[in-house]
Amino acid sequence: MSTETSHVAGEHPDLPPPSTEVGIIGWIRHNLFSSTTNIVITVLTIYFLYVIIPPMLNWIIFDAVFSADSRDDCRAIAKAAGHELGACWAFIGKRFEIFVYGFYPTEERWRVNISFILMLAALLPVLFDNVPNRKQALWFSLIAPFVIGWLLVGGMGLTPVPTDKFGGFMLTLTIGVTGIVGSLPIGIALALGRQSHMPALRMVCVAFIEFIRGVPLITLLFVASTMLNYFLPPGTTFDLLLRVLIMVTLFSSAYIAEVIRGGLQALPKGQIEAADSMGLKYWQSMRLIILPQALKISIPGIVNTFIGLYKDTTLVIIIGLFDPLGMGRASLADTKWQGLSTEIYVFVAIFFFVSCFSMARYSLFLEKKLHTGH
């Protein structure tokens, strides 16, 4: 029998949910111990973490040596401290500059530093719309790439630095950021072109997209490094890094175009009809109505492509450019530090993880910000 006091029909008050359903206890019950299977998985997971994490922390931090002059030195320091040798981070410390700047001349590295700061400053107003004076700031973002290019390459008052001296993280950032910034507008143009009513334009876009998607990036990079010399008139010098930048940008733009096309197709036809019926012109409808929605839908796919592009920059090693991974492998040849490949790969992995994870988080932030309840 019900113990509840009776109510007049239609006048039942709103009651709070039972205490076992809310708060920390409710959450734990629901998510960790809701069924036998769930309990088993929870217990196994906790055991797995217990087995994995302490030794990992020992290797990375507690048993690690942070400053030493050689691997033997590392071992000696660990022995003196009375524990096994964990990671020998001293190696990374000694090599840190070359990881960051590559072979960029030591006395010119301030230019890389300023470029990095300029890049962050230029990205800020593009990524966040609550930056003060955003309009002026966006003008700065538009000019910044040229200033950065000048700073890095030199000339016009600065000592020229040949691009084959670029390396390490600055090379990754140069290729990655250029590719990302360049491929988004090209990708949008290709996606719109592929939907165009003009058959010639459509065919050019389709051919471009399908060709680029059908060829591995490595092949394109080889083409960039060797074949272009055959096609171009003899005597033309075409900077290797510039060729790589162009190839990476085009490669990624084909993928971006397809991701955005998916977003465009997901929009109901009524959106463009409503825009048409109000007299908006094609470019106005695209800019104000269609693209904001299509790009919003495409954010996960776009960022996914960008993360892929960023990691693919490591492929430049095969045409003789040294990104952090390449630098790491080259460093292994040093007899004083032999056998420390784990440290190098972990370090490079952390660098890539931090970059890519930031992109992923930004993508989530953007999705949340643009959510308008539809």
Partner 1 sequence: MSSQPEAVPELKVSDELVIKIKDMHKWYGSFHVLKNVNLEVNRGERIVICGPSGSGKSTLIRCINRLEEHQQGDIIVENVELTNDLKNIDAIRREVGMCFQHFNLFPHLTVLENCALAPIWVKQVPRKEAEATAMKYLERVKIPEQADKFPGQLSGGQQQRVAIARSLCMNPKIMLFDEPTSALDPEMIKEVLDVMVELAKEGMTMLCVTHEMGFAKTVANRVIFMDEGQIIEENNPHEFFDNPQHERTKLFLSQILAH
Residues in touch with partner 1 (CB under 8 A): 268, 270-271, 273-274, 276-281, 284, 288-289, 292-293, 296, 370, 372-374
Is the Cβ of residue 36 or residue 372 nearer to partner 1 in the bound state? 372
Would you say 83 or 287 has its CB closer to partner 1?
287
Provide the minimum distance between the beta carbon of 44 and partner 1 in the complex, in angstroms, as a whole number.
41
Shortest reach from residue 363's CB to partner 1, in Å: 17
Work out the widest C-alpha separation in the chain, in whole angstroms: 97
Which of residues 94 and 296 has its CB atom nearest to partner 1 in the complex?
A: 296
Beta carbon of residue 138, minimum distance to partner 1 (angstroms, whole number): 19
Residue 157 or 373 having the CB closest to partner 1: 373
3-class SS at 307? helix
CB of 370 to partner 1, least distance (A): 7
State which residue, 7 or 135, has the beta carbon closest to partner 1.
135
CB of 281 to partner 1, least distance (A): 8
DSSP states of 236-297 as a string? ----HHHHHHHHHHHHHHHHHHHHHHHHHHHS-HHHHHHHHHTT--HHHIIIIIIHHHHHHH
Tokens of 337: 């530090």
Count Cβ atoms below 10 Å from residue 218 Cβ, excluding itself.
13
- End-to-end CA separation in angstroms for the chain: 44
Alpha carbon 230 to chain centroid distance?
Answer: 34
* 295 C-beta neighbours (distance < 10 Å), count: 19
Angle at 285 between CA 284 and CA 290, to 5 degrees: 130
The percent of the chain in helix, strand and coil, each rounded to the nearest 5, is 75, 0, 25
Contact 119, 174 (CB under 8 A): no
Is 123 within 8 Å of 116 (Cβ atoms)? Answer: no
For the bound state, the minimum distance from the C-beta of residue 325 to partner 1, rounded and expressed in Å, comes to 40
133 torsion bin: left (phi>0), alpha (psi -120 to 50), beta (else): left
The distance of closest approach from Cβ of residue 337 to partner 1 in the complex, given in angstroms and rounded to an integer, is: 54
Element (H, E) at 97: helix 90-101
Structure tokens at 111: 């230019």
- The whole-angstrom separation of Cα 290 and Cα 142 is 24
Question: 175 or 289, CB closer to partner 1?
Answer: 289
Residue 199 or 270: the one with the smaller Cβ distance to partner 1 is: 270
Pick the closer one to partner 1 by CB: 199 or 373: 373
To partner 1, the closest distance from the beta carbon of 306 in angstroms equals 22
Nearest to 253 by CA among 277, 283, 217: 217
> Which of residues 82 and 279 has its CB atom nearest to partner 1 in the complex?
279
Minimum CB separation of residue 130 from partner 1 in Å reads: 17
